Amino acid sequence: MILDGPSFSGAMPECSQTSELVDAMPEDDPNGNVNVQMGAAAPRWGPQHAGAKQLAGMYSKEKRRQEAISVVVGTILFSLMLVRLLSTWRVDYWMTMPIAALLGILTADFVSGLVHWGADTFGSVETLIGRSFIRPFREHHVDPTAITRHDFIECNGDNFLVCIPNLAHMLYQHLTYSAEDLHNWAFFHWYLIFLGVYSAMTNQVGI
């Protein structure tokens, strides 16, 4: 006598397949997948999200120019400062360079996290001042993969901008200070250079 029952041919029961699919597909999947349990009612994020489209549309030509100028000016200042620092290099600096590099990357990591928190917490894209800087952070929440579609200028322009004041001040010091004064400032200047490089490339490294 043969009893009807589930097949043991190795096929997974439909309920099990559905359960595993639900577990593997979070509701906020950035690729636009739909949770099979909730169907079309599940929220969809990513580039097709209405909010993401609106935020992407707020990227203006003026903002693009500011970012492009920031990258160009920042790159020139980084290059000039690197040449100046290498021209005043002393052998004993090798002992302190690892410390300056470590402090630079730790500071950049802390400051970038603090800025991210601040931009997520305060202000909005409707704020009169600073909304262009807040927009990318808000865009990241509704379209987490947007940054991977940005080019170098859009991705890093604002980071280069915040480095310019320190770089300009360091260059001024190198053009006006005595050799002995520059020696006394060497560790701090190298620390600022490492901090600047890590800060300028934070978004690029995070992609």
User: Domain locations in the chain?
Assistant: 60-206
How far does the chain reach from its first CA to its final CA, in angstroms? Answer: 63
Q: Model confidence over 51-109: pLDDT tens digits?
A: 555 555 556 788 889 889 999 999 999 999 999 999 999 999 999 999 999 999 999 99
- Which residue, 25, 24, 188, is CA-closest to 93? 188
pLDDT-wise least confident of 72-76, 93-97, 122-126, 175-179: 122-126
Report the sign of the C-alpha dihedral through residues 8, 13, 16, 18, in that order. Answer: positive
Retrieve residue 46's tokens: 């990513």
| pTM of structure | 0.66
pLDDT band with cut points at 50, 70 and 90 for residue 199? confident
CA distance 128 to 147: 24
- Residue 34 sits at φ, ψ, to 5 deg, of -110, 130
Retrieve residue 179's tokens: 């050799």
Residue 52 has what pLDDT?
53
Q: Model confidence over 19-51: pLDDT tens digits?
A: 443 344 344 444 444 444 545 544 555 555 555
Residue 171 has what pLDDT?
96
Where is pLDDT greater, at 189 or 115? Answer: 189
Residue 56 has what pLDDT?
54
